[in-house]
C-alpha cells in the first residue's frame, strides 16, 4: 500500500522543483513565447493545391521582405497551410502573396482563403479573458465542493488545480512552446478533468470517515489506494486517444494535444499524491490550533 501522507514531503518536493525550474526558465528567457493569438500579428490561410514542404514555404515567406523574421508555417486541413508572422504592413502582406504565387503557381484570387490581423490589444484581452475564465471555474468548483463536502476539501481541490496549471505553464516556459488559444482550451479542459479525479478520492475519504476511520494518515492512505486503479485506468483511457491525436493530427491539433497530455499527467499526480495530503495537513493544522487554545 502506498504511504501517501508519510511521504508527503517527497511528493510535494517533485512538483516544487519542476515549478522552480519553470520560474528560472521564465526569468532567463524573458517570459513565455507568445503566438499570434497573444502577441499579435498576421495569419494567412493558403490553399497550396498540393502537398508542400512547410520549411520551404517559410523560406519563401521570409525572403519576400526583410522585415519578416522567423515566420511560423503550420499544416491545416488538406493542402491548406497557415502562415503566421509578427505584425506587418499591407504592402508586405502583398509581397508574401506575390512570392507564393510566383513560387508555387497558385491562383491569387482563390488560393488565399483568409487573411486576418490580430493586434497586441486583442491578444492582451484574450489573456485577460482566459485568466478570468480559469478563476471563475475554480471559484464555482470550490463553492460546489464546499457545499457537497466541506471547506477544507474544497480548498485542497483548488490547490491541486493551481498545481496542474503551474505544471502546464512550466512546460511552456521550459520547452519554449508558443502560447496561444490552444493553451486556454487545454487549461480549462484539465481543470475540469482533474477535479473529477480529485472528487473521487475525497468521496472515498468521506465514505471511510463514516466507517469510524478517524486517523487522518490511515484514512487518506486507504482512500487513495482504494481509488488508485480507477485513477490510473481513467488516465490511460483518456491519454491514449490524446497521444493518437498528437501523432496523427495536423499541427493545430498537436498544439492542443501536447499541453493536454502534460495536464492529464499533472492532474493524475495531484489527485493521487497531493490532494489527500493537503487535506490531512489542513485538518491537522486546525486541530492543533484548537488544542493550543484549550
pLDDT in tens, 70-117: 898 988 888 899 999 988 888 999 999 999 999 999 999 899 999 988
Task: Output the pTM of the full model.
Answer: 0.84
pLDDT digits (tens, 9 = 90+) for 73-83: 988 888 899 99
Which candidate, 16, 61, 28, places its Cα nearest to that of 43? 61
> How confident is the model over 3-10, as a mean pLDDT?
91
Q: How much is the pLDDT for 127?
A: 78
Q: pLDDT: is 210 or 282 the higher one? A: 282
- Using DSSP bridges, classify how beta strands 80-85 and 72-75 pair: parallel, antiparallel or unpaired: antiparallel
DSSP string, 206-270: HHHHTTT---HHHHHHHHHHHHHHHHHHHHHHHHHHHHHHHHHS-HHHHHHHHHHHHHHHHHHHI
Instruction: Spell out the SS3 assignment of 188-220.
Output: HHHHHHHHHHHHHHHHHHHHHHCCCCCCHHHHH
Over residues 28-37, mean pLDDT: 85
SS3 letters for 54-88? HHHHHHHHHHHCCCCCCCEEEECCCCEEEEEECCC
Provide the greatest CA pair distance for the chain.
85
Q: What is the rounded average pLDDT of the residues 163-182?
A: 91
76 close to 82: Cβ distance less than 8 angstroms:
yes
Question: Residue range 231-253: average pLDDT?
Answer: 89
pLDDT value, residue 3: 86
Please provide residue 76's backbone torsions phi and psi, each rounded to the nearest 5 degrees: -110, -150
Q: In sequence order, which residues have a C-beta less than 8 Å from that of residue 67 and are 6 or more positions away?
A: 88, 89, 92
CATH number 1.20.1640.10 given to 8-34+122-293: yes
Kindly state the average pLDDT of the residues 259-286.
Answer: 93
Q: Percent of the chain beyond pLDDT 70?
A: 97
Query: What pLDDT, on a 0 to 100 scale, did the predictor assign at position 17?
Result: 97
Give the residue-averaged pLDDT of 170-185: 89
Q: Where in the chain is the domain with CATH 3.30.70.3400?
A: 41-118
User: What is the Cα–Cα distance from 224 to 229, expressed in whole angstroms?
Assistant: 9
> What is the structure's pLDDT at 214?
65
Spatial distance between the Cα atoms of 158 and 171, rounded to a whole number of angstroms: 20
Average pLDDT, the chain: 89
Q: Is the pLDDT reported for residue 213 higher than 70?
A: no
Q: CATH second-level architecture of 41-118? A: 2-Layer Sandwich (3.30)
Give ranges for CATH 1.20.1640.10 in the chain.
Answer: 8-34+122-293
State the pLDDT confidence band at 294, using cuts at 50, 70 and 90.
low
Amino acid at each position: 500500500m502506498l504511504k501517501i501522507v508519510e511521504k508527503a514531503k517527497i511528493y510535494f518536493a517533485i512538483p516544487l522543483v519542476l515549478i522552480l525550474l519553470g520560474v528560472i526558465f521564465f526569468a532567463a528567457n524573458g517570459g513565455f513565447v507568445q503566438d499570434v493569438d497573444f502577441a499579435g500579428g498576421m495569419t494567412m490561410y493558403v490553399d497550396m493545391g498540393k502537398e508542400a514542404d512547410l520549411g520551404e514555404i517559410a523560406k519563401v515567406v521570409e525572403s519576400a521582405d526583410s522585415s519578416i523574421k522567423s515566420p511560423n508555417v503550420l499544416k491545416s486541413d488538406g493542402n491548406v497551410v497557415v502562415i503566421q508572422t509578427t505584425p506587418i504592413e499591407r504592402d508586405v502582406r502583398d509581397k508574401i502573396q506575390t512570392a507564393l504565387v510566383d513560387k508555387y503557381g497558385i491562383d491569387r484570387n482563390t488560393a488565399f482563403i483568409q487573411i486576418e490581423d490580430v493586434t497586441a490589444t486583442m491578444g492582451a484581452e484574450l489573456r485577460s479573458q482566459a485568466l478570468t475564465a480559469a478563476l471563475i471555474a475554480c471559484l464555482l468548483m470550490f463553492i460546489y465542493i464546499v457545499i457537497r463536502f466541506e471547506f477544507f476539501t474544497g480548498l485542497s481541490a483548488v490547490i491541486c488545480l493551481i498545481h496542474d496549471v503551474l505544471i502546464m505553464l512550466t512546460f511552456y516556459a521550459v520547452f519554449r512552446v508558443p502560447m496561444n488559444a490552444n493553451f486556454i482550451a487545454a487549461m480549462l479542459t484539465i481543470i475540469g478533468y482533474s477535479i473529477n479525479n480529485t472528487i473521487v478520492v475525497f468521496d472515498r475519504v468521506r465514505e471511510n470517515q463514516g466507517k469510524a476511520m478517524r486517523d487522518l494518515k490511515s484514512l487518506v492512505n486507504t482512500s487513495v489506494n482504494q481509488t488508485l486503479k480507477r485513477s490510473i485506468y481513467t488516465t490511460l483511457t483518456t491519454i491514449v486517444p490524446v497521444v493518437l491525436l498528437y501523432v496523427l493530427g495536423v499541427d493545430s491539433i498537436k498544439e492542443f494535444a501536447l499541453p493536454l497530455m502534460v495536464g492529464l499527467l499533472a492532474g493524475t499526480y495531484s489527485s493521487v499524491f497531493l490532494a489527500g495530503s493537503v487535506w490531512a495537513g489542513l485538518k491537522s493544522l486546525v486541530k492543533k490550533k484548537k488544542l493550543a487554545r484549550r
